[in-house]
Structure 1
Amino acid sequence: MKKILVSAVFVVLFSFSFFSSGLTAQAALSDGTYSVDYTVLQGDSDSVSMANDYFDKPATVTVNGGKYTVSLQVNHSKWITGLWVEGNAVNVASKNTSSDTRKVSFPVSSLSNPVSAKIKVDIDDDGLNYHHEYQIKLRFDEGAAKSLAAAVKSSDKNDTNTPATKSDTNEKVANPKSSDSSQMFLYGIIFVAAGTGLVLLKRRAIFK
Structure 2
Amino acid sequence: MKKRFVIPFSFILLLSMMVVSHAPEAMAADLSKGTYVVDYEMLQAENDSVSIANDYFEKPAILTIDKDGQYLQFTVNHAKWVKFIKSTNGESFADVHTVSDDLENDKRVIAFKIDGAITEPLLMQMHVVIEEMKPSYDHKYSVRLNLDLESMEVTDAPAVVVNAPVAESKSADTNETQGEPTSNKALIYVLLVIISIIAITFAIKINSSRQRKK
Taking structure 1 as the reference length, the TM-score comes to 0.64
Whole-angstrom distance in 1 between the partners of 2:23 and 2:68:
17
CA gap of 1:52–1:6, structure 2 versus 1, over 3 A, is same
Aligned: 1:94 with 2:96: no
Give yes or no for contact 2:24–2:119 (8 Å, CA) kept in 1.
no
Structure 2 residue aligned with 1:77: 79
1:154-165 alignment to 2 at 5 Å?
A: none
Structure 1 residue aligned with 2:64: 62
Structure 2, unmatched stretches of 5+, are: 160-214
Structure 2 residue aligned with 1:172: none
Whole-angstrom distance in 2 between the partners of 1:135 and 1:20:
28
Bigger Rg over Cα: 1
Whole-angstrom distance in 2 between the partners of 1:24 and 1:43:
21
Q: Secondary structure at the match of 2:3?
A: helix
Shift of 1:27: 2.3
Give yes or no for contact 1:91–1:104 (8 Å, CA) kept in 2.
yes
Whole-angstrom distance in 1 between the partners of 2:32 and 2:133:
46
Whole-angstrom distance in 1 between the partners of 2:35 and 2:50:
26
Deviation string for 1:160-200 (max 9, x for gaps)?
xxxxxxxxxxxxxxxxxxxxxxxxxxxxxxxxxxxxxxxxx
Shift of 1:21: 5.6
Whole-angstrom distance in 2 between the partners of 1:115 and 1:56:
17
Taking structure 2 as the reference length, the TM-score comes to 0.62
Structure 1, unmatched stretches of 5+, are: 155-208
Higher relative helix content: 1
- RMSD over aligned Cα atoms: 2.6
Identity %: 32
CA gap of 1:82–1:21, structure 2 versus 1, over 3 A, is closer
